[in-house]
Structure 1
Amino acid sequence: MQETTISISILGAGAWGESLASLAAANGHGVKIWSRRGSETLASVVEDAEIIVSAISMKGVREVATQIQPLTLPPATIFVTATKGLEPDTINTPSQIWQSIFPDNPIVVLSGPNLSQEIQQSLPAATAVASRVVTAAETVQLAFSSPRFRVYTNPDPIGVELGGTLKNVIAIASGVCDGLQLGTNAKAALVTRGLTEMVRIGNFWGAKTETFYGLSGLGDLLATCNSPLSRNYQVGYQLASGKTLTATLANLPGTAEGVNTCQVLVQLAKQQNIVIPITEQVHRLLQGEVTPRQALDELMLRDIKPEYH
């Protein structure tokens, strides 16, 4: 129980939003949740909020942020983004969208190996909160920290955010790997080389390499690549089992952000000459250009080279 009660508004009543709401409520904070299907208006939910947490899917971020913009919010209100994805048209991250619409408010990114179902079962977990405003990150850290949810601060918001976003594509590949029953050696190689791709893309954006070896990078990557609870992992697994992408997505509880992220990354990589072979094969698989087995063969038959260059 925290000594100071904070008023927290959670935007999005999906599994992730509900998990964050329960963590804050367990610490004795005043929590309101907004959902598109709920009876409360967005204005009434965010009114007087000291922390506004966005846990909505990527496609709704700009729309919701724009709806909040005309409301009178104090400059001290902290926006926390817990969305993992990239905006297709602008290639903006969620925090970049929030910051562009609320230039005077502190923005905090919350991301880590946080499978919602496990958090709802009160299993132990850890996460990272990152911001250019150190005091804002520390406020969010205090609000959500508990004996079952350990929160670390981090000074690299773009790195923390990209870790959670980029690993979703590798999780699709990981699901394919398990669906084809390729074994532990193949999976370890895939995840390790996937992390290399994440670092390459992150460095282009100005993220720090070491951030990708922390909770929001490697931590989230390991959790998502090894759990059937991950929607992105399930996409890959089902494709490897012979199901179509349309049928797989129709049966998923929620959004697999990696599908859209993959498309955006391939577009970016072409423009900037970033080498991301795993992501490219996942993209070809999602587009129906190759089978899971053909995608694997393409990766294994690439030119041999040094590990680091």
Structure 2
Amino acid sequence: MKLNVCVLGGGSWGTTVASLISRNTATTLWARDQATVDEINRNHSNEKYLPGAKLQQRLTATTDLEGLVAKSDVVVMGIPSQSFRGVLEVVKKNIRPWVPVVSLTKGLELSTGKRMTEIINEILPGHPAGVLTGPNLAREVMAGYAAASVIAMEDPVIVKELQKIFHAGLFRVYTNNDVIGCELGGVFKNIIAIAAGMGDGQGAGENTRSAIIARGLAEMTRLGVAMGGKARTFAGLAGVGDLVATCTSEQSRNRHVGFYLGQGKTVQEISADMHMVAEGVKSAPAVLALAEAHNVEVPIMYEVLQVIQGESTALRAYRELLRADIGHEADIG
């Protein structure tokens, strides 16, 4: 049975996922900007976010959120974390019963510290909630490079059906039932990527970057397990896979922010030149609050937050990390 899928959000990843899904089933993308919608419908492109990329001709777009949701069998949320709840409130008024909702967003709601699937469950109880996550750089996926992702949902039957919608060509999609771990991996890695970028911006070298990735993964796993995730999830695509891609790629928004923090710019100066949100900047305060609530030490993420909030510099942050006590690798962050 062919399903009608709507993807909400016209940024780089939302547009990419919409184009992928349209290979398999009828797909419509919602964007606020009429010019973006017109460009997708007329030119099959989204030059602002995916310059040079050609979208599937079967993909259509609209600014009519209410009408689109009302006729959709699956809702995919590619909305930034701090706008996620507001859009979902509109979805609530128009969505049909039991329609699955899948998040693409790798962030936490700052005011509540909630994951996106928690917000879905709060606003849309009874609707299966899931997350698509992994080491997925939008431009590479659009260029046709092989990539792998994970779709996580508690219901094993529904997740297998959704897998068929997202799996397309060289974009391989695996299933997982650890929604918490998969979702948190996508949140935490953004902050570690800022740390890696800060080192790159200071010319710290590849040894330093490798150490940040490895010790950052230890922090992610400790906090993720304390919050209910499974350790093995952080050793997979949603954890170390996504972490490596985000920490090393020049296409990574979070690494980009870190790089220029390392060169002495402020978050405000860096953000002014960016089209898209770096979720690590938005989520860092909520993540540190959760770490404190669960009594988990996350020294790398702590230093990143200090720099983001202007209470430290990238140079000072690295000095603080080097001064930290060392012990057994399995015990220390």
- The interval holding the TM-score normalised by the smaller chain is over 0.9
Deviates most, 285-294 or 219-228: 285-294
Which of 172, 176, 187 is equivalent to 1:150? 172
User: Structure 1 residues 112 and 183, CA, compared in 2 at 3 Å: closer, same or farther?
Assistant: same
Alignment TM-score, normalising by the size of structure 1: 0.95
Which of 6, 27, 31 is equivalent to 2:27? 31
Identity %: 38
Query: What SS does the aligned partner of 1:135 have?
Result: helix
Residue 212 of structure 2 aligns with which residue?
Answer: 190
Moved over 3 A (4+): none
Query: What SS does the aligned partner of 2:250 have?
Result: coil
Deviates most, 96-105 or 64-73: 64-73
Alignment check: 8 A CA contact 1:78 1:105 kept: yes
Kindly provide the amino acid, as one letter, of the partner of residue 190 in structure 2: N
**Distance in 1 of aligned mates of 2:289 and 2:210:** 27
Measured after TM superposition, the shift of residue 195 of structure 1 is 0.5
Kindly provide the amino acid, as one letter, of the partner of residue 74 in structure 2: I
**Distance in 1 of aligned mates of 2:19 and 2:124:** 26
Residue 283 of structure 2 aligns with which residue?
Answer: 261
1:43 aligns with 2:39: no
**Distance in 2 of aligned mates of 1:89 and 1:243:** 26
Residue 75 of structure 2 aligns with which residue?
Answer: 52
**Distance in 1 of aligned mates of 2:175 and 2:294:** 31
Which of 68, 78, 94 is equivalent to 1:71? 94
**Distance in 1 of aligned mates of 2:286 and 2:128:** 27
Residue 16 of structure 1 aligns with which residue?
Answer: 13
Residue 119 of structure 1 aligns with which residue?
Answer: 141
1:299 aligns with 2:321: yes
Alignment TM-score, normalising by the size of structure 2: 0.89
Residue 311 of structure 2 aligns with which residue?
Answer: 289
Structure 1: unaligned runs, 5 residues or longer: none
Structure 2: unaligned runs, 5 residues or longer: 35-61
Residue 85 of structure 2 aligns with which residue?
Answer: 62
Deviates most, 150-159 or 116-125: 116-125
Measured after TM superposition, the shift of residue 245 of structure 1 is 1.4
Query: What SS does the aligned partner of 1:109 have?
Result: strand
Measured after TM superposition, the shift of residue 95 of structure 1 is 0.5
**Distance in 2 of aligned mates of 1:157 and 1:292:** 33
| Cα deviation 1:108-148 (Å, max 9, x = unaligned) | 21000011111121211110001111122111110111221
1:167 aligns with 2:177: no
| Cα deviation 1:267-296 (Å, max 9, x = unaligned) | 222333210000010011112222211110
**Distance in 1 of aligned mates of 2:95 and 2:74:** 14
Measured after TM superposition, the shift of residue 5 of structure 1 is 2.3
Q: How many residues align?
A: 304
Deviates most, 213-222 or 263-272: 263-272
Deviates most, 130-139 or 221-230: 130-139
Alignment check: 8 A CA contact 1:9 1:34 kept: yes
Measured after TM superposition, the shift of residue 69 of structure 1 is 1.2
Kindly provide the amino acid, as one letter, of the partner of residue 3 in structure 2: I
